[in-house]
Amino acid sequence: MNDKPQTPEFRLEIDRSAAPGREPGPIDLRRYYATPAHSGIPTFMGVPLCLNQEDLKAGNADVAVLGIPLDSSIGHRGAAYGPRMIRADERYIFNAPEAVINASTRINPFDVLKVVDYGDAAVDAFSTPNSMDHIRGLVRQIAEVGAVPVLLGGDHSLLWPSVGALADVYGPEKIGVIHFDAHPDCHDSQLGHRATHSTPIRRIIEDEKIPAGNVVQVGLRTVTGPDNQLFNWMRRQGMKSHFMAEIERIGFHAVLDKAIAEVQENAEFVYLSLDIDVLDPAFAPGTGTPEPGGLTNRELFPAFRRICHETKVIGMDVVEVAPHLDSGYSTTMNARRAIFEGLTGLAMNRLKIAGPNYLNPIVSGQVKFPMG
């Protein structure tokens, strides 16, 4: 007879978010209004928490932030801690959505949009393929109520189920993808695996039927590829891939103008995907596959804001943040700010502010600063 206590089987499909005993709606986890950033239970920028689709509906959510703590396909582990750190690692003393403002536009996106945190997806720490359906299901829950999912990674394999879920809701032919990355992520497989951080663009084209001509890439520069075979595959598909060589030749702003125009040629809706390694390692050392010679955060932040302002963004992600590789916090800080700039752009779109590249006329020096 074996008297050893038996450990219950860990089952991802057991979802406790619909436990009875409370009315549906967002839950504010702050005990006090002015909660220091280093205390309390962290949600993204202190927004309320929703646990299920009924909460999203009752709260009239416009944006739902979803953590994807998955890094089993990256080779360099640690990005699974990205969602937790992006939520918790605020460097300002207070972490209150009511108290922030975008310095370039003078807009607080949280005054315009109902932003909630949707917790984390159930991921299988030992299997990327086993995690795909759970991620897809939660993204679809968000999209079905008309909210914009904002995914915190985690590795880039999450792009496949995220875009797939939105294709289920909006139709694949209507979706364009703007993909900021040092790497093309177009491989058919990696070491025999189809669901990895280097294959999601291939998967959304071949498996989810996103038209390849609707995929726009910015910032490619890795010395490990694409090789000639993959490079020619990308060209034959009709993808719009903007390498750093083009940015060196004509400048980032000209490439960004092209990218926005290209995604609007055939797509009604836009998914915005940011691999943090598109930034130069000087700005984002905390990632598993850094590549020198990348973008600056001063280029990236306005780009995120512009895309979310000037196109119809229905989803976005920030991935490959590996906080243990960055003792200076700059990677999580820049990832967090990119999302904030994207939320500002969504708010500007909601307010129907004229563009392109809107800046507040006073802080941008277009009009004289008023005297007090």
- CB burial of residue 255 (10 Å; 0-12, 13-18, 19+): buried
pLDDT digit string, tens, across residues 301-337? 999 999 999 999 999 999 999 999 998 899 999 999 9
Q: In angstroms, rounded to a whole number, what is the distance separating the alpha carbons of residues 74 and 66?
A: 20
Compare 125 and 60 and report the one with higher pLDDT.
Answer: 60
Which residue in this structure is represented by tokens 């277009």? Answer: 366
* pLDDT, tens digit (0-9, with 9 covering 90-100), for 129-146: 888 899 999 999 999 999
Residue 14: is its pLDDT beyond 90?
no
Is residue 19 exposed (0-12), middle (13-18) or buried (19+ Cβ within 10 Å)? Answer: exposed
Model confidence, pTM? 0.92
Asked if pLDDT for residue 4 goes beyond 60, the answer is no
pLDDT of residue 364: 93
Classified as helix, coil or strand, 176 is strand
Residue 92 CA to residue 87 CA, distance in Å, equals 13
Q: E strand or H helix at 242, and its extent?
A: strand 240-243
CATH number of 44-351: 3.40.800.10
- Contact residues for 286 (Cβ-Cβ < 8 A; gap 6+): 276, 321, 322, 323, 324, 325, 326, 330, 331, 332
State the Cα–Cα distance between residues 54 and 20, nearest whole angstrom. 12
Average per-residue pLDDT in the chain? 90
